[in-house]
Structure 1
């Protein structure tokens, strides 16, 4: 488990300094640093963050790059967040809706072709169960559960790719 408070005390100044060297203002550097720590804190428990400091610096760099991109695309907007929200349409187009329904039907047909136990592995993993939990529930090894999940994913990808041709 990561001690986020100790990590913040140890690296907060370094991350802000790193962002300042990239040309970010002190205020924005502080905001992006906090966002980087927030992302580390909210990362999934099963995410394997081996080097928290490296993760923070990479996240901060990515956040600063994203911020620069937004600035380039919205230079004239007074309230950039409002302009961005107004420019983005959350609803998919009619064409995208039809394609999504077709893809969903293809996925459903492919899932109907696989055995129930393998289908259980797929849906249990989507529900957040670990491969160890799935294996215990089905009486199989975690490696077998992982292999079955991979086979399902390959089947779904192949089915969708074939349909798109």
Structure 2
């Protein structure tokens, strides 16, 4: 299994630099970097990856391409977000609603077990704050904020896995 925290420490700066060279703003590069590692963390078990660095950079590149495509499409529409909302029917089925409510209750119980600081990091990230912003607000290094986020997500994933068994 990949140690996402170690990979984040090793490739975080290089990945942001790579994305900046591809034209992303500093903020967008930071967001794409975080999204890359969150995808890595939440992905199904990968098995053996021969070149982890290439995998990480390919994931970031794909995310930047997806973002560029969305940004190219939306300016041609008067209100692109509104048009996209009309095309997508995201109404879940009744079965999905029941399962989602059960999963939410499991996640809430598991989150209540997490100590206050990691919980605050997790909730701040859900609010869209970067790890750098969270670290400053909570008074911890950026790497620690990321590590705490990873631990909380692993705890929540384990709770869901246990419930599904």
TM-score (norm 1): 0.50
Give the TM-score of the pair, scaled to structure 2: 0.50
Say which structure, 1 or 2, has more relative contact order (CA 8 Å, 6+ apart). Answer: 2
